[in-house]
Structure 1
Amino acid sequence: MDTINREANGAAADKLAAFAASADVQKIRSVAGEILAVADLLRREPRLRRALADPGRSAEDRGELISAILSGKVSDDTLALLSALVSGRWSGPGALLDGAERLGVDALLSAADQAGELAEVEDELFRFSQIVAGDGRLAGALSDSTAPLASRNELVRDLIEGKAKPATVSLAQLALAGFGGRGFDSSLSRLVELAAAKRDRSVAYVTTAVALSDAEEQRLADRLAALYGRDVSLKVDVDPRIIGGVRVKVGADLYDGTVARRLAEAKTALAK
């Protein structure tokens, strides 16, 4: 997110933080749902997106426009947050849509945090991404952008509703729609990272040939925390194909100490 969009999103984010500090969990969840519903409307209505992000309109004019459209259809709290969002200066209609989605996600995560469920939501999203990645037919069905979004949403509900937190279900469905213009897999990963960031943690994606013990996970987490200067949330995937060793990805940093990598390098060296 560039400087212009960060500033526009920041004003709405500050307003959300003030609201969440004084509201109960149910109210925050309700507002989050309304914001994401409006984000869905913006996704489906490009003319509305353009009008609300039009730099030729004053901030007051854009605020009046969103109020005219949503007054009586969403709560006053939701309307105040969205008015703050559209009153900011955005680089374009797509950036405004991203900002609306991010505001809804932040609201959902704030509600989960207040309910003491944030760590569970983070882990549930990761586990769901692993289940999908391990089933080619399921991954294909959920990632198929030509299939109706409503049917894919229903599939997600059938898979995890009642087994995961409501916030997890809502965030998984947002990933189907392409959070921030991403594909389904990368949307889920980004949502996991945002949930971890809400807990002041980085995410480390760890691949091992065999499952790590609790003590081994803690040692690795401690080493990464010392390296990055903040707590790290480990997301461990067991993949026998790497043969041995460990691969760790934190943001753009990749540490690959797997036997499979060393064998591939040796094969390349011999070929030369």
Structure 2
Amino acid sequence: MIRYYQSVYDLAENIGLRYPDGLTPEEALNHITDTAKSLADVATLVVRTLYLQAGGNGSLENITADPQTVTRMLYGFIINWNNSWFQSIISQDQKEHFEKQDHISYYVSVNEPTFSTRLVHFVLTNLTGYLTNFTEEECRHTDPKSELFDYVWVQGWRAENASDPTPRCVRTHVWLKRARSPAFELHDWASTEYSTWTESRWQKIGARIFLVASRELEIITLVTGVAVLLVSMVLIYFLNAKSNVLFSGPREQSSVTY
């Protein structure tokens, strides 16, 4: 699993992410795989180590990673992003934008948040935020700067026998900001106080595919070409040998007149 980390081969089949046959999308979303258990164990060990390094002296038994959450993130980011969990945690403002996506692009931009960046933002909001009793109007117009929190009006879960989900207001410490240097805002490209950088622009890559002939057709083509060459050489030899007969000029007319 480690050798595929952060590479184009970090796919379900390469990291051992397998599901039993016959599961519905909802069942697969909540099915705790062996890969999720392994990652949860690693995360538990890392968190406990950080806790001890930070000076913690309490019991470590209560510090454990939830395999259910890990398996949901694996399924959402690798198998199918359009699942009930992701749909419940995204904001209503992004609903139409998400419905237009047919796949997750893992390209990360430094200027505008990408689809995958927004998904991570909503996942962290869901896992670290708190539900409030704010109405939609209060949630959308609460000044986050005055309370050091951000408020997100999320779609929420669809209750049983309900046709539409129940939206809720979530208070979170997670912020989504542009990775933009103040030098770009000030147009001070020679600034020694703020960093500047450039981002590559990639042209579209094209390719032309040519079919390769079969081995039999290549042999037939070669033999036919050699045969035509030999016949042409023989024909030219005889034409050259009989050229005085085949290509003789017209007889000269007599100068005698009657």
Task: Normalising by structure 1, report the TM-score.
Answer: 0.26
- After TM superposition, the score normalised by the length of structure 2 is 0.27
Q: When you count helix as a share of all residues, which structure comes out higher? A: 1
Structure number with greater Rg is: 2
- Structure number with greater CO (CA < 8 Å, separation at least 6) is 1
